[in-house]
Amino acid sequence: MYKVVVVEDEKRVRQGIVMGTDWSGINCIVMGEASNGEEGVEIIRKCKPDIVITDIRMPRMMGIEMIEKVHEEGLEPCVIFLSAYGDFAYAQQAVKLGAADYLLKPFSDGELENAVLKIAEKNRREEEKREQPNGELKLDRGDKSKYIMDAIAYVEQNYANPSISVRDVADSLGISEGHLSFLFRKETDSTLMAYVTKCRMRAAMNLLKSYRHKVYEVAQQVGYRDITYFSKTFKKYVGVSPSEYQNRYSPE
């Protein structure tokens, strides 16, 4: 389920969002709420939500300032901004911060739910794209040389080897590293080691979904000795940390 935090200084509006929305029906759970931006920063730090719903104008810290603050700390939830002001400048700032949506209060029934569902649908499409058998590579077999198809097969069989290198793949094919690197880039628009990372990330996502392994075990199984480096790479590739991704598939 997606974790949600609501930050809104108007108590009536905040309670209406928290209590009046069928969160379970849109695969969400409210993890926390706050009445101003300063409290919001603390709640976001603590809960690490997938989605933040926040007013823009609030006492003590504006909603936009709050989101800028958590971005500086490496937290990047999807954000739905709320505002009672039809001020284009606010909308511009929201867009610059990568806002998922911008709703004017009072919003109509179903409008907030639709904004959340749009986020979920976008995430689903992005995840499906990442999980395609060959990632983002252009791998139509008709226009790929045997060297490249064999290199891809080697990587898919050996990506879990922490020491896998371009030299290993080139040696398995009986060609030079330079020639393999040139061909791979030319025929796939990607480097060979970038493809190794794609294979590792797809495997990690599948292992985390099963909820049978700890994050450090997943890191080891897909070829990473350093769990910190694995976590940074995973978040860069998937958009959330390994633990956050795994929690989405929690059996509880």
SS3 for 40-86 is: HHHHHHHHCCCEEEEECCCCCCCHHHHHHHHHHCCCCCEEEEEECCC
pLDDT at 134 over 50: no
Give whole-number Cα distances, 17 to 6, 22, 104, 119, in Å. 8, 9, 14, 17
- Check whether 132 has a pLDDT greater than 50: yes
Q: Which amino acid is at 71?
A: H
The arithmetic mean of pLDDT across residues 95-124, rounded, is: 83
The single-letter code of the amino acid at 220 is: Q
The bridge status of strand 78-83 relative to strand 51-55 is parallel
Strands (E), the chain: 2-7, 28-34, 51-55, 78-83, 101-104
Q: Is residue 203 within a helix (H) or strand (E), and if so which, with residue range?
A: helix 192-210
Give me the chain's average pLDDT, please: 85
The values of phi and psi at residue 57, to 5°, are -95, 115
First vs last Cα of the chain: how many Å apart?
A: 10
Q: At what angle do helices 166-173 and 177-188 cross, to 10 degrees?
A: 100
Is the distance from CB of 190 to CB of 138 less than 8 angstroms?
no
Q: Is pLDDT of 251 > 70? A: no
| Neighbour count for residue 161 (Cβ, 10 Å) | 12
At 34, list the tokens.
């706050």
Both tokens of residue 43? 């709640």
pLDDT tens-digit map of 170-215: 999 998 888 888 888 888 888 899 899 999 999 999 999 887 889 9
pLDDT of the residue at 217: 94
For position 49, what pLDDT does the model report? Answer: 92
- 28-81: per-residue pLDDT in tens? 999 999 999 999 999 999 999 999 999 988 888 989 899 988 888 878 888 999
Geometric angle at alpha carbon 72, from 248 and 47, rounded to 5°: 35
pLDDT at residue 170, rounded to an integer:
92
* pLDDT confidence bin for 135, thresholds 50/70/90: very low
Of the two residues 134 and 53, the one the predictor is more confident about is 53
Q: Which of 239, 156, 244 is nearest to 203 (CA)?
A: 156
Q: Can you give the length of the chain in residues?
A: 252
Higher pLDDT, 128 or 188: 188
**CA gap 204, 218 in Å, rounded:** 6
